[in-house]
Amino acid sequence: MAGTVHGFQTEVTKLLDLLANSLYSNKEVFLRELISNASDAIDKLHFLSLTNPDLIKDDGDFRIRIRADKDKQTLTISDNGVGMTLEEANEHLGTIAKSGTEAFMKSLSGDAARDSQLIGQFGVGFYSAFIVADRVTVLSRAATAAEGEGVRWESTGSGTFESEQVSRDHRGTDVILHLKDSEKDFLETWTLRQAITKYSDHISTPVMLWEEKFEAPKDGEKQDEKKEPKFEYTQVNDAKALWTRTPKDIKDEEYKEFYKHLTSDYEDPLNWAHNKVEGELEYTSLLYVPRRAPWDLFHNDRKHGLKLYVQRVFIMDEAESFLPNYLRFIKGLIDTNALPLNVSRELLQDSAVTRKLKKALTKRSLSLIERLAKDPEQYATFWKEFGNVLKEGPVEDYDNREQVLKLLRFASTHNSSDAQDVSLEDYVKRMSEKQTKIYYLTADSYQAAASSPYLERLKSKGVEVLLMWQRVDEWLMGNLNEFDGKEFVPVTSSDLKLGDLADKQEEQEQKESSEKHKDIIERLKKALGDKVSDVKVSTRLIDSPSCVVGEHGQMYTSQMKRMLEAAGQSLPEEKFILEINPTHRLVEKAAAEADESRFAMWAEVIYQQALLADQGSLKDPAAFVRTLNTLLTQQ
């Protein structure tokens, strides 16, 4: 029977061309990926066999076999795992998620060593075979399929693949690599053994290598050079699950290599925690903090979670029930005796045991991050990658709110750069005795926050202000009231709640100023009409002519407006209080204008400037420009 020819998905074709022609460094990564795939196939069958033992009744000895054939110039990676049907082979080996491929392409840096390591991270590990092979043949049979329902799949990686149904007398998958002439080194036992030991030593399934068996001559017997060499499969890896070993006996390099196997990441983790707990709730956890955020960290449909083992039996990938969503970047596994082997995702969601484990693992994860926080350099790396995710924690996880708040970092007026290295504990320690509130400002960018007119008076008083400009900051601060008994107050609020920070003399001067400049206040109110709810002399401005504040204390910032509008929520027209600095040259120039029509134009400029400084945009910028140009060109 001739095979049917299929065209690869466009994204696969691009990827294969890249792998075959561009990535030359760390070629041995293909072996790690194919062994990892074989291990996953065995784990899946092991799980299925718990409820259907007949699936493995003819072969219950799980193993991965690797065999080089120098005569045929082939390298074969075989497993006796779950296998594939023809439909599954066409689907899994002919297409990959478009978003994953695009993200992979965008992540390439031109550094061949780094780029070649990316393939596993983006779920395209099988295609790494084409780094060393000019043709790949896959023979497979699903564990549930009959002998005549085997599969042969083959491709040269040039845009098409051929597949057909064949007879196969055993389950599992053989991936046969027809090596390029330049890659014959991967036919050597020493090369293969070294790569297996380096990347796959901690896979719990035995990895067997076909190698020559050397027998020493018996006493009095000469070495027969013409004697045919004998070959046999020899186990290369340790095949003992790393997490079952005693932590003190495990080297850091072993933890790092296991992490790479577990996640297909190309970099070492930032930190990890390995714990064994006995007693009422027995479990072992191995948790890692990655060094880099995954490309789809903020995708709503992204799968995440820990690998789940029950009594050392693999149950499922990406079990989401053991960590809150804001810790979705944590990688690792949990192995417990407290759950049944037939546990499902639905059962996990409603299980009291799961809730207890989630509580414990959340605490362990936060402790792991706290350890990172003790090293400012490491924590800066962590915060850059995962800070915006961690900010979801204080709202999502009320029980651990204080602990998470202590882990947050911000920029502030204490620093002269946008470095986000100020903790709330740092801020509180630097507060003067008179200060009882924590002041913050959200804006569209660091530059907009750092140069905001709302900071002027507080800066003059030496009051530190936290500066925020990420989208999550609006949502976070809108759901927080206090830290360490100190209330959060936005500097855009009409009432800054200065308390003892307020200067009695300043307050008196403001009252006198309001009385002294009541004429321009009334003129501005009349000129602006219902565009504003009030006009007042400001206590917060020093260098700027004006600002706007919310009518009811706080107001929607431009960032919050965009978030709500993106969510389909229509906002009511918001009126602001216009605060003016009557001693500013622009306000004085407006006050001196006798022509009421020109004064109305000055009033519009003063108001629109304040809106622009706060909102970052105007509803009718062209009208603002025309008014400004008229004032500048007319005497």
Domains in the chain with CATH codes: 4-214+228-235 (3.30.565.10), 242-373 (3.30.230.80), 409-500 (3.40.50.11260), 504-633 (1.20.120.790)
How far apart CA 75 and CA 30 sit, in angstroms, is 12
Q: Which residues of the chain have pLDDT under 70?
A: 1-2, 10-11, 14, 17-26, 95-124, 215-227, 551-573, 635
Tell me the pLDDT tens digit for each residue of 55-113: 999 898 999 999 999 999 999 999 999 999 999 998 888 765 444 445 555 665 555 44
Closest CA to 442 of 560, 595, 568, 534: 560
- Give phi and psi for 145, each to the nearest 5: -95, 160
Claim: this prediction has a pTM higher than 0.85: no
Q: What percent of the chain is helix, strand and coil (3-state, nearest 5)?
A: 45, 20, 35
Element (H, E) at 378: helix 376-390
In this structure, which amino acid lies at residue 320? E
Closest CA to 269 of 227, 345, 191, 329: 329
**Sign of the alpha-carbon dihedral angle for 469, 474, 479, 485:** positive
Strand order across the beta sheet in which 411-412 lies: 411-412, 465-468, 437-442, 486-490, 482-483
Where does residue 60 rank: exposed (0-12), middle (13-18), buried (19+ CB within 10 A)? exposed
CA distances from 392 to 38, 318, 385, 474 (A): 37, 20, 14, 11
Size of the chain, expressed as the number of residues it contains: 635
Q: Which tokens belong to 502?
A: 């307020």
Element (H, E) at 211: strand 207-213
Do 473 and 530 form a contact (C-beta atoms < 8 A)?
no
pLDDT confidence of residue 198:
76
Tell me the pLDDT tens digit for each residue of 152-198: 999 998 888 999 999 999 999 999 999 999 999 999 999 999 888 87
pLDDT confidence of residue 529:
93
Q: Which tokens belong to 390?
A: 């961690």
- 552: Cβ–Cβ under 8 A, 6 or more apart, which residues? 494
How far apart CA 112 and CA 27 sit, in angstroms, is 10
